[in-house]
Structure 1
Amino acid sequence: MQSNSGAAFIQRFLKNPAQVGAIAATSPAVSRRLAEPIPETGDPLVVELGPGNGAVTEWILRRLGGRGHLLAIEIDPVFAEMLQRNYPTLDVAVADAGDLAKLLADRGLGTVDAVVSALPWTTFPDEQTRRILRALASSMSPDGVFTTITYTTARMMPPWRRVLAALNDTFETVEPSRAIWANLPPAFVYEARRPRRTV
């Protein structure tokens, strides 16, 4: 990762805080936890939503160890260019996460085994959240896993409660990790499994 990625992250946050969602990149402790449920064997298809400057991407690639396929969906073209520069072989799509089905079809990819997300869910309207989650559920394998992050500062607020309700409507199980204090701000990783087909 290039040394200016942290500065670039702050610049993108200041330009569009609602889209970026955090003032600092995801810490290694949270990034590792987000990537942990990716299958350790086989050739899994993994989708990363909102990779930003690649802090989590690096841990996903470590977890894959050259196996499978990682599709990184980033709506910010500056972050997408940075990702492609830092990871030249990475499959990067400058697109909306809600267009997942089309992105997979265009690439001839099948069902998704794991989705890792650092999207700023609490800044989205409820319908946008549910549209993205529906796209995930319809594209994931029955035993697929989804991980995402929220912050201790947001967890008890109404916007996150709406996100959590949407997650529970989309997946059969949704479980939070313990608080991860080695992050700015401290964070929780939510792990969701068994996507519902009709949401």
Structure 2
Amino acid sequence: MLSQTRPAGSDTLTFLGAIMRNPHQLGAIAPSSKAVARLAASIVPTTPGAVVVELGAGGGVISDAIRDRLPPGGRQLAVEVNEGMVDHLRRSRPWLEVISGDAGDLGKLLREAGLSQADAIVSSLPWTLFEGAQQKRVLEEIAASIVPGGSFSTITTLTVMPFQRFRHFRGLMNSTFATVATLGPIWRNVPPALVYTGVTADNRLAGEVTGG
């Protein structure tokens, strides 16, 4: 059905064109594979009406994987800073709510869309292109924008693991979320990739356990 709305290969061509025009804005050399997209989207909840937000939607491969898992009545939004990608997503995926903006302003962008929080957030942001302070700011925005007990997933490649900015980001994941897990690797991605997941603390459950 989706193949009828856009020419075959248009996602990849749009992605590669965006890299050539602005190589410092995208952290990947190629779109994520469908296998990685499915892994990142595996956190999408089954609760009817769930709200799922994607950060750095790019060419839309992960958007499709999220849509495949979205429960009945669910709402799917995508935040993308690259205007060429924004235009492509709006043309190729009219069912997707595309927001042109920066993930560092996530709370504000969600409020403008009539939302306070999301049930899950899926990211392919280029964390190693961000300075440490920017990593912290964006992760804090993400955590504050997820319901208690909600989930976050983000894609990273094995090639960035030796770098200090990746180690800093990995430490921030541990300090930001109640639990963190690693999925993968997916060796057939270019380059091979991992998915990190985080779950926000559910203070409501803690209150029930302690009698608060």
TM-score w.r.t. length of structure 1: 0.93
Q: Deviation at 1:41? A: 2.7
* Residue deviations 1:41-78 (CA, integer Å, cap 9, x gap): 32111110000010100000111155311110000011
- The DSSP-based 3-state class of the residue aligned with 1:100 is helix
* Residue deviations 1:109-157 (CA, integer Å, cap 9, x gap): 1321100000110111111111111111112111110000111111232
Q: What letter matches 1:178 in structure 2? A: G
Find the aligned partners of 2:198 and 2:166 in 1 and give their Cα distance: 15
Find the aligned partners of 2:25 and 2:118 in 1 and give their Cα distance: 24
Q: What letter matches 2:16 in structure 1? A: I
Find the aligned partners of 1:195 and 1:28 in 2 and give their Cα distance: 30
Q: Give the structure 1 partner of residue 206 of structure 2.
A: none
Note if 1:76 corresponds to 2:109: no
RMSD: 1.6
Out of 136-145 and 52-61, give the one that drifted further. 136-145
Residue 62 of structure 1 is aligned with which of 68, 89, 94?
Answer: 68
Find the aligned partners of 1:195 and 1:121 in 2 and give their Cα distance: 23
- CA gap 1:66/1:58 in 2 versus in 1, 3 angstroms: farther
- The DSSP-based 3-state class of the residue aligned with 1:58 is helix
* Residue deviations 1:149-197 (CA, integer Å, cap 9, x gap): 1111112321110111111121121111131112000000001112599
Gaps of 5+ in 2: 1-5, 204-212
Q: What letter matches 2:94 in structure 1? A: P
Note if 1:35 corresponds to 2:48: no
User: Does the 8 Å CA contact 2:49/2:71 hold for their aligned counterparts?
Assistant: no
Note if 1:114 corresponds to 2:120: yes
Q: Give the structure 1 partner of residue 7 of structure 2.
A: 2
- The DSSP-based 3-state class of the residue aligned with 1:174 is strand
Residue 155 of structure 2 is aligned with which of 145, 149, 153?
Answer: 149
Larger radius of gyration: 2
Find the aligned partners of 2:169 and 2:24 in 1 and give their Cα distance: 15
Find the aligned partners of 2:93 and 2:124 in 1 and give their Cα distance: 18
Find the aligned partners of 1:15 and 1:66 in 2 and give their Cα distance: 38
Q: Give the structure 1 partner of residue 183 of structure 2.
A: 177
User: Does the 8 Å CA contact 1:75/1:95 hold for their aligned counterparts?
Assistant: yes
Out of 88-97 and 47-56, give the one that drifted further. 88-97
Q: Give the structure 1 partner of residue 3 of structure 2.
A: none
Name the count of aligned residue pairs. Answer: 197
TM-score w.r.t. length of structure 2: 0.88
